[in-house]
A and B are shown apart, each in its own frame.
Chain A
Amino acid sequence: MTDAVLDRLRGPGPARRHNARTIAALTANPGCTRRAVLDAAGVDKQGLAERAGHPAPFGQSGFALSRGNAFEAQLKADSGRLLRELLAGALGHDVPESYADLGADDDATLTARHAATAELLTGAGAALVDHPLLSLDVAGRTVFLEPDLVAARVGGRFHVVEIKSFAIVDGQADSAKVSAAAVQAAVYVLALRRLLGDDLVSHDVVLVCPENFAFRPTAVVLDVRKQLGTLTRQLRRLAGVSALAADLPPGLSFDLALPGAELAAAVARLTARYAPECLSACELAYLCRHEATGTTAALGRPVREALGGVDTIGEVLELASGARAPGPGQEEAAALLRAAARLRAAAVGL
């Protein structure tokens, strides 16, 4: 029933599939109903933003992709010989010489690959499993995850392996990239736990990256317990989305074939919660930013908090000038704003 509602929202186009990156992004703004509904329905948000007049740049460079692929191919070559050595070093355990490749990404084989993954992982199976297909409940819907990950079975437990092509130089890497990789790996840990149970899947994941300036890989172990906690909480919050979708007006549709104005109006029916973090995480960012003009949230959380949590710029300025009397609970924020306005005026007017 719910799936039917979500399918109807999307229209006849194919549903966008989730991956760890989209789930990580989804949980980056868990308060946003708009994104939750559109993602649950598998709407092509990039296309939607374009049709509604606010295209956002969300491309990936082919150079980065091919570099990433070449790096991965090197690791997996020869039945994952290089990868096994690295994992043995990082985890302090021998990795048995067995490797199973579940085959390429293909819509038609989803169910078969999911079954094969389950069989392989629950059975005695291989130590390294390439192209497994996992599933996770996201926003009331079961979504398939297609990690290019390799789940390694070492010392009786599974470890998620995340292969990234950013470099670790002298033991240090870009912290934003490392934390993004950790969240994505945590998504796979959750999916794997759903299949095998919590005990069999370690919260220690292995991050494999090029070392220094060479193409040679190195492996580090990351503890993703914190990320798992956050993800679990946020996925739980998203679970109520299908109920939200059912409450939407029956005629509502995000079929990209509709006229742009109609699509923009449809988007406006879904409540958003824009924050500047959306700019790097959601294809609708320019659209939602436009809509959020004049709110303190659009300036970012630190600014909003420094302004006492007041919602709009207009209200902030009126409180600061004394033109508006503070509402209940606003007295302290208003006093601070008035003092700030006085000091600013005195100093700028010098």
Chain B
Amino acid sequence: MSTLTALARAEAVAAGRAQPIATVRHLHVHPDPLVLVPVVMAGEPNAPLAALAGRDRAAPRLLVVAQPRNRDLRFAFAAELAEIVVGYAESHIGPSEAVAVDRGRDVRHRYLDAPQVWVPNPGGVDFLRLFGRSTRFRRTDGDHPVPPAVPLLGRWLTFLATQAEVPGSALLVAATQALALHWATGQSSAEDAQLGALLGWIDPGPLTGPEAARRAEQLPPAGPATDPDFDNRVLAPLLSAGADPADALRDQLLPTWDLMWRAVDLLRALPPGARVAGRWDADRDAFSGYVAHLRDTGTPQPRRDSAVAAAARLHRLENVQARYAAQRAFDDPLVMAEHRLTGEAFEGVVTHAKADRVDDTGKRPVLRPRLIVRTAEPVRASAGTALTCPDRPSQKATVISVTPAGDETDVLLELSGGMGRKLVAEPGSVPAVGDTVLYTTLTEAYRPGGAFPEPDRTPWTHGGPPAPPAQPTPAEAAEEWA
């Protein structure tokens, strides 16, 4: 936890309501999202009990497994959920745009829109991942046929849950995480994990934050686990009497349904950060790619990644994480402030500038302006460090020296790039004396990828080449589901 966020929590305690830790919204909020509130049967590995789902806040659809141990009812639930989720995902297959790739040598197509599914919390994401795992290998033929929509649901849920691991992706959103990215409450993160208590602090209405949070703690939990007391006093008697639990379950889920839409509204009301649209473009790419895969072979995702695929994926995720952190800081002075506090960024005033400095020691003379920035903030950079100024992202600033100047610090920088093609800098492309500037070690640039062998060259120490993706085997398709 950064000191800045911790201080915001302390301020929230004093103010009796949550405090902003972002000045802009850092995720895309879809104009027409699908909200999904699943609950599972206690003690059963991934047995769905019920879900509220839909795109219309006034008309949630309730799905119930009236006898959670009944296999047929469970697949019927999966088929119904498929109708909603797959139907929603496929409704975004529509007009597309051409995107140049490989320096314009090729184009690929990207749908103009993509789906966005909201669940209450990371537990909801886990539920979708497991439910995807338990349905994607099912087959529509053979000894244990299921409705055709079931394995397709499994593939889509797996795609969404996998995508949710990508930092900054907004195809599958956990409401508690999205909110906690923008507000600090006056309670612990353990309490923030409860959607109701978190929203109580952020949007307490006429109450104080702590009052609203305490009141929300009396609401049914946001799933996927049910309230044990509800299980014992309400659900168990209904189930053993063979009665329909639908009404009781609807009552349990509706409060969370309302909280979900409040979360969507609160986030939507924030102005989006400048780089949010770019990340949504990447989400649309991922969606378009998956649609293409389904139309091509449509093989289900493997149970586990091969060694090479897992290592490459991990490397990619780390890269995306670093880029996402940089983007949020570039978009949001409040996020950048965290980096200034730790010395990964500093703000200062330009005290000297030589905008027309040309370095002619090489083969060709090149434009290399130099600046001195005086700052009172901590500086973690040393000679040779490459810095970026968020206002001039395509310009690199290399630290030449860092010198103490009384209580302050003078940083001598040499600039390259982002100044036009001539030996004279374009007007405004080099900061002038007296300008307030900010430089940071954060960068949006992708770091070079690691060297991973091609999958078919996986060394035997890492399990050898993986089997090619395949349609599920009969054994996988018939996997027991008790």
Residues 320-339 of A contacting B (Cβ, < 8 Å): 320, 336-337, 339
Select one of B3, B232, B333 contacting A340, CB under 8 A: B3
- Chain B interface, >50% SS class: helix
A62-B232, A303-B1, A306-B2 known; A340 and B190 CB under 8 Å? no
Query: A61: which of B6, B11, B228 is its contact (CB, 8 Å)?
Result: B228
> In the complex, what distance in Å separates the CA atom of A340 from the CA atom of B134?
48
Question: Which B residues between 171 and 230 are near A, CB-CB below 8 angstroms?
Answer: 186-191, 210, 226-229
Further contacts, 15 of them, CB under 8 A, given A303-B9, A307-B3, A340-B3: A65-B43, A169-B45, A170-B133, A210-B482, A213-B46, A213-B481, A276-B189, A300-B190, A302-B1, A307-B10, A314-B14, A320-B7, A339-B377, A340-B341, A347-B337
Residue count of chain B within 8 Å CB distance of chain A: 52
**Which A residue sits closest to B377, measured CB to CB?**
A339
Interface size in chain A (residues, C-beta < 8 A): 55
Are B10 and A344 closer than 8 Å at their CB atoms? no
Q: Give A215 to B190 CA distance when docked, in angstroms.
A: 32
Q: Given A170-B304, A303-B188, A306-B5, decide whether A343 and B340 contact each other with a Cβ distance below 8 A.
A: yes
Complex contacts, B229 vs chain A, CB 8 Å: 57, 59
Contact status A299-B228, CB under 8 Å: no
Interface SS, A side: helix
Chain A residues closer than 8 Å to B163, beta-carbon distance: none
Tell me, yes or no, whether A216 is within 8 Å of chain B by CB: yes
- Answer whether residue A200 sits at the interface, using C-beta atoms and an 8 A cutoff: no
Q: Once the chains bind, are A347 and B43 in contact (CB under 8 Å)?
A: no
The 8 Å CB contact of A64, one of B43, B191, B340, is: B43
In the complex, are the beta carbons of A61 and B333 less than 8 A apart? no
A344 to chain B, nearest CB (A): 6
Contacts of B377 in A (CB 8 A): 339
B479 lies within 8 A of chain A by Cβ = yes
**Can you give 30 contacting A-B residue pairs, CB < 8 Å?**
A59-B227, A60-B228, A61-B43, A61-B226, A62-B236, A63-B43, A64-B228, A65-B43, A66-B43, A67-B42, A167-B45, A169-B45, A169-B46, A171-B304, A212-B134, A212-B479, A213-B482, A214-B479, A215-B480, A279-B191, A280-B190, A294-B13, A298-B188, A299-B188, A303-B1, A313-B13, A336-B3, A344-B4, A344-B11, A347-B333
Distance of A68 Cα from B41 Cα, bound (Å): 13
User: B295 on the interface (CB 8 Å rule)?
Assistant: no
Q: How far is the CA of A47 from the CA of B136 in the complex (A)?
A: 47
How far is the CB of B375 from the nearest CB of chain A, in Å? 13
A149 in the interface, Cβ–Cβ < 8 Å? no
Q: Do A336 and B341 touch across chains, with their CB atoms under 8 A apart?
A: yes
Contact (Cβ within 8 A) B10 A63: no
Q: Which residues of A contact B (CB under 8 A)?
A: 57, 59-68, 165-167, 169-171, 210, 212-216, 276-277, 279-280, 293-294, 296, 298-300, 302-303, 305-308, 313-314, 316-317, 320, 336-337, 339-341, 343-344, 346-348, 350
- Chain B residues with CB under 8 Å of A350's CB are 23, 333
Contact between B43 and A165 (Cβ–Cβ < 8 Å)? yes
Of the candidates B45, B337, B479, which one forms a contact with A346 in the assembled complex, judged by CB atoms under 8 Å apart?
Answer: B337
- Cross-chain contact A341 with B7 (CB below 8 angstroms): yes
Query: A-B pairs with the 10 shortest C-beta distances?
Result: A167-B45, A64-B43, A67-B43, A214-B480, A276-B188, A61-B42, A306-B6, A59-B228, A215-B482, A343-B337
Taking CB atoms, residues of chain B closer than 8 Å to A314 are: 14
| Nearest CB on B from A18, distance (A) | 21
User: For residue A276, which residues in chain B have a CB less than 8 angstroms away from its CB?
Assistant: 188-191
Specify which of B10, B41, B134, B334 is in contact with A348 (CB 8 Å cutoff): B334
- Within B339-372, the residues touching A (CB, 8 Å) are 340-341
- Nearest-Cβ distance from residue A164 to partner chain B, whole angstroms: 10
Residues of chain B within 8 A (CB-CB) of A166 are 45
In residues 2-42 of chain B, which contact A (Cβ within 8 Å)?
2-11, 13-14, 20, 23, 41-42
Contact B43 A344 (CB under 8 A): no
Are the CB atoms of A63 and B482 closer together than 8 Å? no
Q: Is the CB of A299 within 8 A of B186?
A: yes
Q: Which residue of A lies closest to B335 (CB)?
A: A347
- A169 touching B130 by the CB < 8 A rule? yes
Whether A63 and B190, one on each chain, are in contact in the complex, defined by CB atoms closer than 8 angstroms, is no
For the complex formed, measure the closest distance between the CB of A72 and the CB atoms of chain B, giving whole angstroms: 12
Interface flags for B216-257 (1: CB within 8 Å of A; 0: not) read 000000000011110110011000000000000000000000
User: Which partner residue on chain B sits nearest A310 by CB separation?
Assistant: B10
